[in-house]
Amino acid sequence: MKINPNIFRGYDIRGLVDKDLNPKIAEHIGKAFGVFLSRKGIKKAVVGFDSRATSPEYSQAVIKGLTWAGVDVINIGLNLIGTFYWSQYYLNCRGGVYVTASHNPVEYNGFKLANDFSETLVYENLQELKQMIEREDYEQDAKNGSVQIRDIRQEYFADLLKKLPITKRFKIVIDPSHSTAGVIAPELLKKAGCQVVESNSILDSSFPLGTPDPTSMAVASRLREKVLQENADLGFSYDADGDRIGIVDDKGNIIWNDVLVALFAADVLREHPNATIMYNTLCSKAVEETILKHGGKPFMWRTGHSFLKKKNQEVKAAFIGELSGHFFFSADFYNHDDGLYSTLRLLSYLAKTNQSLSSAIAAIPKYISSPEIKIYSADEYKVDLIKKINPALKKDFSGAQIIDDERAGDGVRVDFEDAMFVIRYSQNAPYLTIKFEAKTDERYNYLKKYISKLLHSYQEVDWLSSINLNLEALK
């Protein structure tokens, strides 16, 4: 079967609706993945989906393909990705498919394919699946798999609240940008005893306010305004599948998620002294400084939740955090990211320590930091572009620490004593990601001008694309 090979990305499948993806292609993905699972002795899979317009239809097509291949399916319907991962344990399903394009724009959809508990396919296995589909290397099972519909949401809520009871009545703003978390997060937080102010929580698959992305300045600024207007204790935003969060504190400060990585690390190290804490290359220098201050062992690794989860099988970190808002409380929960668990974990920490979020953040080393910036570069250009940028950075910053090995994976990190910046290409979309920080305004502005000038010198960068995010941070 002919299929766009570029939809098979670093750790999931993502493509344009009605161009790269349609129900027929989704069914073939289900057939191939069903055979892939069967060949590994896995004959049961859970299926769920996010609130995108095509997600219910694609999930039904995937189920048709899986059952054709003889795999029994438990359909949990509309849920968050964290609920999907949790359900693997609860329902004892090593296999699974979750239909989502995460934080990609509205015209995209895609699939996360689980082949073990808390584990999804990464590049090598996705390429194998692509080849199976291209060759139609799959055969119908002698007996079709069964389909069972299960509503497991209340059991999921009960488990989270048992693990993380909240002892303080917080006033919280929830803004999921009209995506999946809008019909799930408020209910959980009300059950936790919080006073919840819902903002943009009604589901609308057209994403009328733009892509649900907690790293977007537009989303963060909107959340800040609502927190201040409501005099709330803090605010949370979520992406479309709910594995990532964004936060604003009681004073209206936007807290980028690498700072939250540092805060969570301090919390985890209270309960797991001397533990290893893993974080991705995009994170602030404040993360390593906080880990060392609290007696932990810092371990930096490449960006991408599947890469981090895979590496943790070796590293055994108690906690993993990413700038994008993926958090894994591996020692206390499971080795996967769950935005609602992260939400409750933060509230639990603030309640236990009797702090406001702003006072807790004040203890973290301060850097002037950009948001996560995304600039379009086509899939066929972005990898070679990083190869061009790398020697330029080594030449211009010969005295800095250049990290371009396996830890960086898909980009370059430049570290100074008082600053750092990262330029990398995305594994799951056609863009570059940029992040920079410094101790002083002067140093920050120098890096901003340097990065902007450097990237403007390459024709492979499209400054007018609708995919671009937070470009104002480079002006």
Are 121 and 104 in contact by the 8 Å Cβ rule? The answer is no
Buried/exposed 449-474: b ≥16 CB within 10 Å, e otherwise: ebbbebbeeeebbbeebebbbbbebb
Domain range summary for the chain, segments of one domain joined by +: 5-151, 155-241, 255-361, 368-474
Does residue 314 surpass a pLDDT of 80? yes
Angle at the Cα of 129 from the Cα atoms of 125 and 131, rounded to 5 degrees = 115
Q: Nearest Cα to 403, choosing from 395, 394, 283?
A: 394
* pLDDT tens by residue, 42-53: 999 999 999 999
Superfamily of domain 368-474: Alpha-D-phosphohexomutase, C-terminal domain (3.30.310.50)
Q: How confident is the model over 392-398, as a mean pLDDT?
A: 96
* Distance, CA of 14 to CA of 185 (rounded, Å): 25
For strand 419-425 and strand 431-438, is the pairing parallel, antiparallel, or unpaired? antiparallel
Residues 6+ apart with CB under 8 A from 229: none
| pLDDT band, residue 454 (cuts 50/70/90) | very high
What are phi and psi for residue 40, nearest 5 degrees? Answer: -100, 10
How many angstroms separate the Cα of 214 from the Cα of each of 26, 104, 257, 373, 445?
28, 12, 9, 12, 24
**What is the CATH number assigned to the segment(s) 255-361?**
3.40.120.10
| pLDDT band, residue 309 (cuts 50/70/90) | confident
The 3-state secondary structure of 421-444, one letter per residue: EEEEECCCCCEEEEEEEECCHHHH
Q: How confident is the model over 389-417, as a mean pLDDT?
A: 95
* pLDDT tens by residue, 90-147: 999 999 999 999 988 999 999 999 999 998 998 899 999 999 999 999 999 999 999 9
What are phi and psi for residue 238, nearest 5 degrees? Answer: -140, 155
DSSP string across 139-192: ---SSPPPEEE---HHHHHHHHHHHS---S--EEEEE-TTSGGGGTHHHHHHHT
Residue-level pLDDT at 313: 86
Q: Is the pTM of this model over 0.75?
A: yes
Same topology between domain 155-241 and domain 368-474: no
Asked which of 26-35, 109-118, 425-434 is least confident by mean pLDDT, the reply is 425-434
The average confidence (pLDDT) of the chain is: 96
Q: Examine the residue annotation and report whether 102 is marked as an active-site residue of this protein.
A: yes
Q: Is domain 5-151 classified as CATH 3.40.120.10?
A: yes
Residue-level pLDDT at 427: 84
Are 425 and 433 in contact by the 8 Å Cβ rule? The answer is yes
Are 81 and 129 in contact by the 8 Å Cβ rule? The answer is no
How many angstroms separate the Cα of 448 from the Cα of each of 134, 421, 441, 452, 453?
44, 9, 10, 6, 9
Q: Is domain 155-241 classified as CATH 3.40.120.10?
A: yes
Q: What is the DSSP letter of 5?
A: G
- Percent of the chain scored above 90 by pLDDT? 93
* Distance, CA of 165 to CA of 402 (rounded, Å): 43
| pLDDT band, residue 312 (cuts 50/70/90) | confident
Residue-level pLDDT at 123: 85
- Active-site position among 55, 59, 102, 179: 102
Task: Tell me the two tokens of residue 165.
Answer: 């009871």
